[in-house]
Amino acid sequence: MSPARPAHDQPGHIPARVPYDEYGNLLSTTTGVDPDRITWQAPHPFTLSLHLHDARALRGIRRPVTWKDPHGPAVFPMFADDLARVVKGTISDHGLVVGATWVPLMRRDRYGISLKAFHEQEAPSTEPEPPASPAEEAAARFIDREHVVRLVRAAFSMGEPEEDLPPDLTTLIRHIREDRP
């Protein structure tokens, strides 16, 4: 832990191996656990729907918040510092966090899971998109301009025929369509 940053700002790091027990539970620490019960695995990100199992850790900094797999016995510890980010950054359906990608990591000599950051969840593009042709750009600008014209009409609740519009709105719509200020 860096003395320049408080514990809740420490990002943690992904270790080379993460300890699991025979039931698939991620162990927060290996202290006091029989070494024969520990299965060390590579820390791969996983997508799993989890529900909050135990939040008593909010009363103490060393105890983890635990998440449970609703379809199995696996329990995953998480650092209490990360709970707010999970609540704000995920979709919850009846207490079940849906569609989140979790990453096992190590922080303050303990193991736990953390929500994979939004920008890390997207797979990097393998090849850059080809630039749009001038015709495609012109078509996109035309579609955008017509959308703005419809919004202006809707905002002023004007009818369909443009002849019934006041002169100022007719001039505005003409300038929008001609792509001039």
Amino acid 137: pLDDT: 78
Integer CA distances (angstroms), 48 to 32, 40, 96, 125, 135, in order:
28, 20, 10, 24, 44
| Tens digits of residue pLDDT in 23-43 | 889 998 888 889 899 999 998
pLDDT band at 127 (very low <50, low <70, confident <90, very high): low
* Whole-number percent of the chain with pLDDT over 70: 77
Rg (CA), the chain: 27
Q: How confident is the model at residue 96 (pLDDT cuts 50, 70, 90)?
A: confident
pLDDT, mean over the chain:
77
Residue that wins the pLDDT comparison between 117 and 43: 43
Enter the tokens of residue 66.
Answer: 């635990």
| Rounded Cα–Cα distance for residues 113 and 67 (Å) | 9
39-78 pLDDT, tens digit each: 999 988 889 899 888 877 566 556 778 889 998 889 999 8
The H or E element that residue 50 is part of is strand 50-54
For the chain, the structural domain boundaries read 7-121, 134-178
Q: What is the DSSP letter of 26?
A: B
Q: For position 119, what pLDDT does the model report?
A: 43
Residue with tokens 């300038």: 175
Helix (H, G, I), strand (E, B) or coil at 37: helix
Q: Which of 10-14, 87-91, 122-126 has the lowest mean pLDDT?
A: 122-126
Give percent above pLDDT 90 in the chain: 10
Burial class (CB in 10 A: 0-12, 13-18, 19+), 63: middle
**Sign of the dihedral defined by the CA atoms of residues 84, 89, 94, 96, in that order:** negative
Closest CA to 47 of 107, 99, 87: 99
Write down the pTM of the prediction.
0.57
Residue 6: per-residue pLDDT? 46
Residue-level length of the chain = 181
DSSP state of 16: S
